[in-house]
Amino acid sequence: MALLKKLTTLIIILFISGCFSKIGSVKGKFTQNGVILNLKKSAVLQIIFYPSDANQKVSYPADFDRDTCEYVISNIPNGEYKVGLALLDPYPNNDKYNNEFSLAKSTILCKVDGITEFDINISRK
């Protein structure tokens, strides 16, 4: 019986610490006009999360899978983020989005809270 109480207490502690963690992750799919991109070999898509708090001078780049257009950022603090995008083709000089989704101009916002799923779909002509 004592062992059962200890196990129950341990499970509760682990559950509570996981629920109130200050570090999370974010993952999702990137699409343009609802369709995944068919990137040329010379192209690189960058997805970067910037804290909404302008005093924080850190950024969180995503690991991006060019075949599935899925991205993931692990170990990102919970909070509000502005999402920056750049489609560099050819890499690294030519942003096909013309800096429309740079830190200064992007209007894409995401709230990270634990394990967060956030799909990004942009409209382009």
Report how far residue 72's alpha carbon sits from residue 120's, in angstroms, rounded to the nearest whole number: 12
Report how far residue 108's alpha carbon sits from residue 120's, in angstroms, rounded to the nearest whole number: 8
Q: Region 94-118: what's the mean pLDDT?
A: 95
Report how far residue 7's alpha carbon sits from residue 4's, in angstroms, rounded to the nearest whole number: 5
pLDDT, tens digit (0-9, with 9 covering 90-100), for 5-28: 655 654 554 454 455 569 999 999
Has residue 82 been placed in a domain? yes
Q: What's the structural domain count of the chain?
A: 1
Name the amino acid, one letter, at 65. D
CATH of residue 68's domain is 2.60.40.1120
pLDDT, tens digit (0-9, with 9 covering 90-100), for 26-78: 999 999 999 999 999 989 999 999 999 877 789 999 999 999 999 999 999 99
Cβ(49)–Cβ(76) under 8 Å?
yes
Report how far residue 72's alpha carbon sits from residue 70's, in angstroms, rounded to the nearest whole number: 7
Has residue 37 been placed in a domain? yes
Residue 84 pLDDT grade (very low, low, confident, very high; cuts 50, 70, 90) = very high
Return the DSSP state at 114.
Answer: S
Q: Is the pTM of this model over 0.75?
A: yes
